[in-house]
Structure 1
Amino acid sequence: MLQKHPFTIALLLVSILLISACSRHSIYETAINYERSRAGLETASVTVDELNIAYLRNSEANKGDTIVLVHGFGANKDNWTRMARELTDDFNVYAIDLPGHGESSKPLDLGYRLEEQVEHLAGILSALDIDEMHMMGNSMGGGITALYAATYPEQIKTAVLFDPAGILEYESELVDRVLAGDNPLIPSEPGDFKRLMDFAMEKKPFVPWPILGVMEEQAIANLEVNKVIFAAIQEAGFKSGFRNAITAIEDPVLVIWGKEDRILDYRNGEVFRNAIPGSRLEVLEGVGHAPMIEVPERSVRLFLEFANPYISKAG
């Protein structure tokens, strides 16, 4: 997504492309590559168990620690570019497109329960030779990050959970809508993607209309796999297995939650804090479901303050 402040650059870029009669898809590709470049990231891919996995990594590696970023349901690696821009000077950042998402393979029969996605991610990181990292996840990715820390504690230096899925002790507006047969997280027709953004975020980034249109097309094209993944992960919030699993986490954990989150009620943050020994909770006023997009600089500051004792001095 486009940065909040370089509006004039982004608008100029879009205007030039429109005048040049470029297609909406060309505009999208140019804009998204511009954002990746500004964040110091480049695209790459790896094959894992016959799956093509797309990801973003530093354009220039450094001697800092590794940070792995895990997106949420229906999202992708580019959800992290605003935050990564604040990190790539000092850390080696990897933003992964999980199977079923973004530009990665999308088999319908892969298995998308949270614990299954932990194993998919472990295979990806092994293929990338990453065996020690700070891991951050949002929503579904937050639940995956928590389970990853519980399963592979020796690999995690710190974990940051942004509005994590996995516990639904306090139900949200989303639950009411899903039970009524209306899931705003799964776009199926024109207009649904804007509705999704309005529902998910309190502080929405500026996205020019040609780019928004392509993002909507991509979301609608993923309708079937999104239904499969949502059905697989929603079970976790109503079962005790997830909560029991995360009580075993020994790594340092920071939970960050937007108080205006309509998808997952921020009060579940206290449940996470009580379940994970020694964890810390930060609730952000005026922020929705995606703090790393809505307030990237503040999100980075919270991470750095929390993780400072665990960051390698060489970084």
Structure 2
Amino acid sequence: MSSTESPDARAVPVVPPTRSSQVSAGEKLRTVTLPGVTLTVRSRPPAREGLPPALYVHGLGGSSQNWSELMERLADTVDGEALDLPGFGDAPPPGDGDYSITGYARVVIRYLDASARGPVHLVGNSMGGAVATRVAAVRPDLVRTLTLVSPALPELRPQRTAVPTGLLAVPGVVSLFARMTKDWSPERRTREVLALCYGDPSRVSPEGFALAVAEYERRLELPYFWEVMARSARGIVDAYTLGGQHSLWRQAEKVLAPTLLVYGVRDQLVSIRMARRASKAFRDSRLLTLLQAGHVAMMEDPDVVARAFRELLADTATTSERSAPPRG
């Protein structure tokens, strides 16, 4: 963004748009219909039978394809699936109109109960990290381990660069933003969101950029696109204001599952300052800090994130073996 552009013009989707209808080699997409909600599930067959299940949950403005690179790298470790949450990717909006963090958590729980895949290794990014935290807190029976990439947990003093996205929650701002950016090309919109999300946007390949532009064009044609963005952003803000037992930080303290926290030093949406607080809140946690990464480390440094995830699973398995009662 040039110095002459208003920072408010960066109130754009906060996860890079990737072509949701694009299926990477080896992946499959299927539609799952549950009472009141329709989901799209992206999966990659595991390298061998018997691997433990994993479920990936994307962030605001994202889709299941945000996890494709990480899923590919972990196909020898877990049996992975990634959801398109209602209103995102190829999934239609929720029938009940509930875009709250709790509402999305209910959807994830409903899917896990219906699929009988739990307990899973649950992985979430940004808004999906907040959703995954709530799931792990209220249904510990469904979660083996928890991995959070730049989770959207409440910040009292958000970064200046994150303020415009939060403004999406304010009534009327979406229509104002649409008027402000009506002359923007899909290429410019994509460059803006990549600049906001990546620590180094130049790491996106020309092919990846072209796919992101095409997906942005597709999304803008959806009649519900901006409403879903606004109401989901409002759901995040509302979750930030909840106190007592429903506070996300209070629920983080209740999480029993071993937790991997991944933060990028160059993250413009979730401050690296929150890493320390999160490390204290989650009782059984480890922290991975990436110096060059921004908001979507699983897309920027998938090899490093995959290695840390494997280490989490290996250490968890070792701990379980040590705590198991003797046989015989």
The answer to whether TM tops 0.5 is yes
Question: Which of 41, 52, 56 is the matching residue for 1:65?
Answer: 52
Matched, 1:130 2:117: yes
Deviation at 1:41, TM superposition (A): 2.0
8 Å contact kept, 2:130–2:153: yes
Q: In 2, distance between residues paired with 1:260 and 1:161?
A: 17
- 1:45-64 per-position Cα deviation (integer Å, ceiling 9, x unaligned): 21011422111112356210
8 Å contact kept, 2:53–2:118: no
Q: Which deviates more, 188-197 or 247-256? A: 188-197
8 Å contact kept, 2:58–2:128: yes
Q: Relative to structure 1, is the Cα distance of residues 214 and 251 closer, same or farther in structure 2, using a 3 angstrom cutoff?
A: same
Q: In 1, distance between residues paired with 2:299 and 2:190?
A: 16
1:202 aligned partner: 199
Q: Which deviates more, 229-238 or 97-106? A: 229-238
8 Å contact kept, 2:137–2:256: yes
Q: Which deviates more, 166-175 or 257-266? A: 166-175
8 Å contact kept, 1:200–1:262: yes
Question: Which of 263, 266, 270 is the matching residue for 2:269?
Answer: 263
- 1:80-110 per-position Cα deviation (integer Å, ceiling 9, x unaligned): 0111111113321001111111111214752
Q: In 2, distance between residues paired with 1:107 and 1:113?
A: 11
2:290 aligned partner: 284
1:142 aligned partner: 129
Relative to the length of structure 1, the TM-score reads: 0.81
8 Å contact kept, 1:259–1:288: yes
Q: Relative to structure 1, is the Cα distance of residues 92 and 195 closer, same or farther in structure 2, using a 3 angstrom cutoff?
A: same
2:93 aligned partner: 106
Deviation at 1:178, TM superposition (A): 4.6
- 1:188-239 per-position Cα deviation (integer Å, ceiling 9, x unaligned): 7532232011111113421435423311113323122111111111222344
8 Å contact kept, 1:193–1:219: no
1:235 aligned partner: 238
Q: Relative to structure 1, is the Cα distance of residues 29 and 126 closer, same or farther in structure 2, using a 3 angstrom cutoff?
A: closer
Q: In 1, distance between residues paired with 2:89 and 2:286?
A: 31
1:16 aligned partner: none
2:155 is paired with a residue whose SS is coil
1:12 aligned partner: none
1:245 aligned partner: 251
1:116 is paired with a residue whose SS is helix
Please, what is the CA RMSD of the aligned residues? 2.6
Relative to the length of structure 2, the TM-score reads: 0.78
Deviation at 1:163, TM superposition (A): 0.2
1:235 is paired with a residue whose SS is helix
1:18 aligned partner: none
How many residues align structurally? 280
Q: In 1, distance between residues paired with 2:157 and 2:289?
A: 15
1:310 aligned partner: 316
1:247 is paired with a residue whose SS is helix
8 Å contact kept, 1:82–1:292: yes
Matched, 1:46 2:59: no
2:262 is paired with a residue whose SS is strand
Q: Relative to structure 1, is the Cα distance of residues 177 and 306 closer, same or farther in structure 2, using a 3 angstrom cutoff?
A: same
8 Å contact kept, 1:157–1:310: no
2:189 aligned partner: 192
Q: In 2, distance between residues paired with 1:29 and 1:110?
A: 22
Q: What is the percentage of aligned positions where both structures have the same residue? A: 21
1:17 aligned partner: none
Q: In 2, distance between residues paired with 1:58 and 1:137?
A: 17
Q: Any gaps of 5 or more consecutive residues in structure 2? A: 1-18, 321-328
1:75 aligned partner: 62
Q: Give the letter for the 2:71 counterpart.
A: A
Question: Which of 88, 110, 117 is the matching residue for 2:104?
Answer: 117
Q: Equivalences for 1:20-59 in 2 at 5 Å?
A: 32-33=22-23, 36-37=24-25, 40-59=26-45
Q: Any gaps of 5 or more consecutive residues in structure 1? A: 1-27
Q: In 2, distance between residues paired with 1:29 and 1:251?
A: 30
8 Å contact kept, 1:62–1:90: no
- 1:9-38 per-position Cα deviation (integer Å, ceiling 9, x unaligned): xxxxxxxxxxxxxxxxxxx689x32xx21x
Matched, 1:211 2:197: no
